Structure 1
Amino acid sequence: MLKRVFLLVMAAVLVIAGAPAPASAAPALAAGRSAIYGGGPFYSGGQAVMDNLRSSGFTTVVLWAIHVRADTGDLWLNDIRIIANGQYVGDPAWASRLATLKQAPTSVNRIEVSVGSAGPNDWGAIKTLIERDGTGSGSVLYRNFQVLRTITGADAINDDDEQQYDLTTTTAFANMVIGQGFKFTFVPYTNMAFWRSLKTNLGAAVDRVYLQAYAGGAGNDPATWTQQLGLPVDPGLWSRHGGGCASGDSPATVESRMRGWVTSAGIRGGFMWLYDDMQACSAQGTPAQYAAAVNNGTSSGSVPLPSGTNVALNRTATGSAPCGSTETPAKAVNGSVSGGNADKFCTLAATRQLQIDLGSSRSLTGFVVRHAGAGGESAAWNTRDYDIKVSADGTTWTTVVQARGSTADVTSHINAATGRYVRLDIVTAEQSGNGAARIYEFEVYG
């Protein structure tokens, strides 16, 4: 059995703090973004399974898993051959069943096809085929994946490479399917250097990363992967499974862990592995209960993160004199809040400021501030009053956020602005009055 789970969830338990600048409007509540992987039932379970998914609350369905034959290029869905020599040879009714997934009323708005596993070396087979035939429109690999998209209506190819890790041929394959209209997503559990290089090669065509956070990936830190890959990852967990359904996570545990990752890593979504196990262990959690756990853990009752990416990540940060040598401004843009008390910018100066140079002028969409409580310290030390300002030259500043009376661990502001420099001015550092300002992360989106 494969060792990954993916649930995509649009996330961030964030609270609007204080009053935004007059030009900004209150953002809408976030919709959930959650994904579920499934094997045999997604093919042979009939319309009942499709209807169960439509009403589950999951927004993404991942068809697991496509295997590739190195000699013929045939595509198999688990142990069933479905495409050969550019022709669909599977269940004639499967395409019409899949098409109902996105038909209203439904929670599903995206379908992905997972390629690879911890078993057969499908990415080794893809390497062999590319080296032999290339990726042109006449190649069997091109023709078979074009048919796969037509039959499944899939929005993305889900790369679950767990053994080959060949950057050259994976890049060539990804560019081939991107040209066919697919997005390309990652499902890593190890070998961060490979995934980082692949993300660099493919750029914005990679719009989601489903990080395995169970089994072989149980020790993965979403904050570290987010920092290394340059976009928020969606971590996944394994539902109840095994003898007596005693292994894996319950819906309550999933929700708790997702909430923790919102605070520590700013995740926007999550995923679950595996629908097959949910069927077998339904008394311990149904698909609807697991979808609610992911959606509630990452977005329920919250506002969304600003659109775009965190352009402040690892940028040059300066500010007031730090409380100690390990609590410098750079700690507020390092992409982490989980490193303990030393993983923050702290200042006791009379004028408390944190300034970030984005490197060039940017069109900005908003700001997120992670205060003392986000790093595990007392909420009484959360910043109460602060301003956020932007500047083109670092000299003339425009105030875009004025937050007053904030108590939250994490605050989010959806504000359109333009500038190269962004400054956080602390007016009242703690809930009971001025003291040490503690900023675990200052995120600027655009």
Structure 2
Amino acid sequence: MRVRIGILLAVIVSMVMTGVPSPASAAAGRSAIYGGGPFYSGGQGVMDTLRSSGFTTVVLWAIHVRADTGDLWLNDIRIISNGQYVGDSGWPARLATLKRAPTSVNRIEVSVGSAGPNDWGAIKTLIERDGTGSGSVLYRNFQVLRTITGADAINDDDEQQYDLTTTTAFANMVIGQGYKFTFVPYTNMAFWRSLKNNLGAAVDRVYLQAYAGGAGNNPATWAQQLGMPVDPGLWSRHGSGCASGDTPATVESRMRGWASSAGIPGGFLWLFDDMQACAAQGTPAQYAAAVNNATGSTTPSLPPGSNLALNRTATGSASCATTEAPAKAVNGSVSGGTTDKWCSTAATKQLQVDLGAGRSLTGFVVRHAGAGGESASWNTRDYNIAVSADGTTWTTVVQARGNTADVTTHLASATGRYVRLDVLTAEQSGTSAARVYEFEVYG
């Protein structure tokens, strides 16, 4: 991945697993998670976290290749040498549990390459020296890798070599061993287009980096150039104070936008290691639900907990009519006709709910015009959700842009007594009235 600096070391910290749904509760969709050291050294606990997370694909990151010996390393640990597995004897058995029911995981990939060591340069050297026949060390080592990991696909994360001839030869070699082949591009579209033309249908997924060096990537453009839809990826909360990256709420909002504009079939998250370190900002289960909800079912699963806003005191900007007051948005109903909603045409459109006391919150559901039987063209397009302990100082926890759905679900870990919906663009055309049939706050 582009964000790699040196070799990731496993730092195992306690997970805060609040509100983890069972795999069966995840909405239809496909979602992948990359992980480094914890996927190897984190023990069975990490495997069980992945099984219950809602992620459908686990990507083991990253396999490095030695140009002199052909040895395969997982980050800084040598695991295969001269056709023999030399790693932790318990790791293959732990990996085997990933797909064991009950689980959300149905696919494992092994990522080859990064922005650090030039693994695809090493592969080029080995192929030019030894070829890709069954007797070559490259062939034997990757055959063993598939046996011990149960991997379904090789995940090509080439970020510097871009040699079409040797990459095509390598891909055909591992495809012959039973692997599928997937791309992880962030730049050099011409190379990936040519490689796709060479490999055809053997490439069954493209994981487009849409963060860091690939932050400006447009999934629609890449899909058009490669002739297949792509699964874009975002970076979870990370860095000093866990202040960088996306929360589950912003992941869901951005994925919904891409689902609308580019028809994405799924998405991925980088990086499990950071989710461990920043667990209070979002658990694997919350990130998986964000992707699955945005790219799968149109009726996503609810956030954990109960609706704390139900029949609470609601206030807001001036209503379209006395029969469309803020209280209608917290009465638990969307089926009472076209006045069973809060409606406002005020210049500043806000809906606020007092939960009665400070609460720990897990997420929000907004039921827009279409949920009440009105035109989907009146669904709220752009809005924020903010929380406050005192009704004076507010923290924005959800930023939704480009929404077209009748019902939107947002996972967010927050605390507060007051919750406010700020409508920025009330309708799809950018005009007139905000129409909210229900504003639900879970915790």
Whether contact under 8 Å (1:73, 1:140) holds in the other structure is yes
Residue 176 of structure 1 corresponds to 173
**What does residue 104 of structure 2 align with?**
107
1:66 and 1:218 mapped to 2: Cα distance?
Answer: 24
Distance in structure 1 (CA, Å) of the matches to 2:59 and 2:28? 19
Take 1:61 and 1:202, find their aligned partners in 2: how far apart are those partners?
23
Query: Residue 289 of structure 2 aligns with which residue?
Result: 292
Match of 1:301 in 2: 298
Is 1:269 aligned to 2:266, yes or no? yes
1:241 is displaced (CA, Å) by 0.1
Change (3 A) 1:66 1:97: same
* Aligned twin of 1:185: 182
Aligned pair count?
290
Shift in Å, 1:30: 6.9
Question: Which residue of 98, 118, 121 corresponds with 1:121?
Answer: 118
Residue 79 of structure 1 pairs with residue 70 of structure 2 = no
Aligned to 1:160: 157
- TM-score, normalization by structure 1: 0.63
2:278 maps to 281
Residue of structure 1 aligned with 2:252, choices 248, 252, 255: 255
CA distance in 2, matches of 1:104, 1:197: 39
Tell me how far 1:409 sits from its aligned partner.
Answer: 6.1
What is the distance in 2 between the residues matched to 1:90 and 1:191? 35
CA–CA separation in structure 2 for the residues paired with 1:127 and 1:185: 18
Q: Find the residue that maps to 1:163 and give its secondary structure.
A: coil
Deviation of 1:2 (Å): 4.2
Aligned to 2:241: 244
* Superposition misfits of 4+ residues, deviation over 4 angstroms: 378-382, 408-411
* SS across alignment from 1:3: coil
Q: Secondary structure at the match of 1:99?
A: helix
Instruction: Quote the Cα distance in structure 1 between the aligned partners of 2:2 and 2:128.
Output: 27
CA distance in 1, matches of 2:129, 2:86: 24
Cα separation, 2, equivalents of 1:2 and 1:106: 30
Query: Structure 1 residue 301: deviation in Å?
Result: 2.5
What is the percent sequence identity of the aligned residues?
A: 88
Rounded to whole Å, the distance in 1 between the matches of 2:186 and 2:65 is 21
Paired position in structure 1 for 2:128? 131
**CA distance 1:128–1:147, shift in 2 (3 Å):** same
Q: Distance in 1 between matches of 2:242 and 2:255?
A: 21
Deviations 1:118-138 (A, max 9, x none): 000000000000000000000
Quickly say closer, same or farther: Cα 1:270–1:168, change in 2 above 3 A: same
Query: 2:2–2:213: 8 Å Cα contact kept in structure 1?
Result: no
Deviations 1:325-344 (A, max 9, x none): xxxxxxxxxxxxxxxxxxxx
1:207 is aligned to 2:204: yes
What's the CA shift string for 1:250-282, capped at 9, x where partnerless?
000000000000111010100000000000000
Equivalences for 1:14-413 in 2 at 5 Å? 31-301=28-298, 380=377
CA-to-partner distance for each residue in 1:151-195, whole Å, 9 max, x for gaps? 000000000000000000000000000000000000000000000
Q: Give the 3 Å change call, closer, same or farther, for CA 81–410 of structure 1 in structure 2.
A: same
Which amino acid is the alignment partner of residue 221 of structure 1? N
Q: Which moved more, 1:264-273 or 1:30-39?
A: 30-39
Distance 1:381 1:96, change over 3 A: closer
The amino acid that maps onto 2:125 is T
Q: Deviations over 1:367-412 (max 9, x none)?
A: xxxxxx9xxxx96599xxxxxxxxxxxxxxxxxxxxxxxxx9699x
SS at match of 1:270: strand
Partners of 2:226 and 2:378 lie apart in 1 by 31
Contact 1:36–1:272 at 8 Å: present in 2 too? yes
**8 Å CA contact retained: 2:29, 2:296:** yes
What is the rounded CA distance, in whole Å, between the counterparts of 2:280 and 2:405 in structure 1? 35
| CA–CA distance in structure 1, aligned partners of residues 156 and 172 of structure 2 | 13
**Distance in structure 2 (CA, Å) of the matches to 1:234 and 1:178:** 21
For residues 256 and 124 of structure 1, the distance between their equivalents in structure 2, rounded to whole angstroms, comes to 38
- Helix, strand or coil at the partner of 1:57: coil
Cα distance in 1, alignment partners of residues 224 and 404 from structure 2: 21
- Offset, 1:300: 2.7
Task: Determine which structure has greater relative contact order: mean sequence separation of CA pairs < 8 Å that are 6+ residues apart, divided by chain length.
Answer: 1
Residues 263 and 410, structure 1, Cα contact 8 Å, conserved in 2 = no
Superposed CA deviations along residues 56-115 of structure 1, whole A, max 9, x for unmatched, are 000000000000000000000000000000000000000000000000000000000000
Q: CA deviation at 1:297?
A: 1.1
TM value normalised by structure 2: 0.63
Task: Give the match's secondary structure for 2:222.
Answer: helix
Where in structure 1 are there 5+ consecutive unaligned residues? Answer: 5-28, 304-372, 383-407, 412-446
Supply the distance in 1 between the matched residues of 2:237 and 2:378 (Cα, whole angstroms): 38
User: Aligned with 1:202: secondary structure?
Assistant: helix
Structure 1 residue 3 corresponds to structure 2 residue 3: yes
- Separation of aligned partners in 1, 2:133 and 2:113: 22
CA distance in 2, matches of 1:169, 1:241: 35
Residue type of the alignment partner of 1:258:
M
